[in-house]
Chain A
Amino acid sequence: MKKIEVIQNVLEANDTIASRNRQLLDKHKVFAINIMSAPGAGKTSLILQTLTRLKGRLNIAVIEGDVASTVDAERVQSKAKAVVQINTGKMPESCSLMAVMIESALKDMPLNDIDLILIENVGNLICPAEFALGEHKRVVISSLPEGDDKPIKYPLIFVDADAVIINKMDLLPHVDFDIAAFRRSVTGLNPKVEFFEVSCKTGEGIDRWCSWMLERVETNAAKR
């Protein structure tokens, strides 16, 4: 019997492809945002609002990740520069997008004509936290009906987020969501995080979110 020291990260295969994706995006000056949340928190609604607000200012492509269906891709089709739907149900893993899926989606995109890619991850607060895609920023959406305890129950996804969007602010009078407690929990895990309180239904707060993103896309494009 012989013992071989290995010390090799099991997620390395994904991380390697993620950094390759990032290099490809950077080469074409494309900024990518990975949008993660529980099902129904408003990922598609946020994307639709963003596409509407930034129309004419940025060329935006969308990668939709869902276990099944093309419902989301159809909803954003008319407003985006390009849409690729990934159905993870046919893949070995269905609970999250992974770097290899983004690699193949990028092959179908006119990268030279795109400024920003919004990647809608599979609705899930657990698995997407583990898999880098090659994105520049990670955004988590929490919506008021989910309750303010999600950062306590699913800390990892909040630890690595660059921005946290609190959606469905229009429901605040009707639900017991303690915004201060929620923000405190997230900031405890992640002091640098940026918060946005929005309602994709009324449009409240969307302008500030779009300016934040626009600024980052422009800084990124100017850097190279």
Chain B
Amino acid sequence: MHELGVTENIVNIALAKAGEAQANKVVKINLVVGELSGFVPDCIQFYFDSLSKDTIAQGAVLHFESVPTELRCRDCAAVFQPQDTLWTCPECAGRSVEIFKGRELYIESLEVE
């Protein structure tokens, strides 16, 4: 739902970094997207195709690495991937957890030529 602004940022960052590297073309953009972040890769791709038009990033492949949700139990410190919607700790059955991984949204690297 809010991927347009985010995709604008992706295009801007990619063009700036490619410019610094004096590249002629951005071939691939490697993105890391946490499972819990509200960002939908298909939506980002859709906006990217139109926003990158007539830039050196046009036609670049967006590669999404999805980061699964990992939680840390506040009671026993176990780090786990949630198995149920209640996010219960599998070690101690605790229900107090903090999000350890899964909120990421960043550009990891670019491939340019």
- What is the chain A residue whose CB lies nearest that of B106? A9
Q: Does A187 contact B (CB under 8 A)?
A: yes
CB < 8 Å neighbour of B8 from A92, A129, A159: A92
State the interface size on chain A (CB cutoff 8 A).
36
- A-side contacts of B107, CB under 8 Å: 6-8, 10
Q: Judging by beta carbons under 8 Å apart, are A4 and B97 in contact?
A: no
| Cβ-closest chain B residue relative to A187 | B96
Contact indicator A127/B9 (Cβ below 8 Å): no
Q: How far is the CB of B36 from chain A (nearest CB, A)?
A: 6
B77 beta carbon closer than 8 Å to chain A: no
Question: Is there a chain A Cβ closer than 8 Å to B53's Cβ?
Answer: no
* A 1-38 binary contact with B (CB < 8 Å = 1; else 0): 11111111111111000000000000000000000000
Q: Contact mask B26-68 → A, CB, 8 Å, 1/0? A: 0100010000111100000000000000000000000000000
Which of A96, A156, A188 is most buried by chain B, counting CB atoms within 10 A of its CB? A188
**In the complex, A3→B30 CA distance in Å?**
10
User: Do A191 and B96 form a contact, CB below 8 Å, given A10-B107, A93-B5, A152-B86?
Assistant: yes
CB of B76 within 8 A of chain A? no
Contact B1 A127 (CB under 8 A): yes
Give how many A-B residue pairs fall within 8 Å (CB-CB). 101
Cβ-closest chain B residue relative to A191: B96
A188: B residues at CB distance < 8 A: 87, 95-97
Q: Does A54 contact B (CB under 8 A)?
A: no
- Residues of the A chain whose Cβ atoms lie less than 8 Å from the Cβ of B113: 1-2
Interface digits, A130-152 against B, CB 8 Å rule (1 contact, 0 not)? 11000000000000000000001
19 residue pairs bridging A and B, Cβ less than 8 Å apart = A1-B27, A1-B112, A3-B111, A6-B106, A6-B110, A10-B6, A10-B9, A11-B9, A11-B105, A92-B8, A126-B38, A129-B38, A152-B85, A152-B86, A153-B85, A156-B36, A185-B86, A188-B95, A189-B98
User: Given A10-B107, A155-B36, A156-B38, 14 other A-B contacts at CB below 8 A?
Assistant: A1-B113, A2-B21, A2-B23, A3-B111, A8-B13, A10-B10, A11-B105, A12-B9, A92-B8, A93-B4, A98-B5, A155-B87, A185-B95, A188-B97
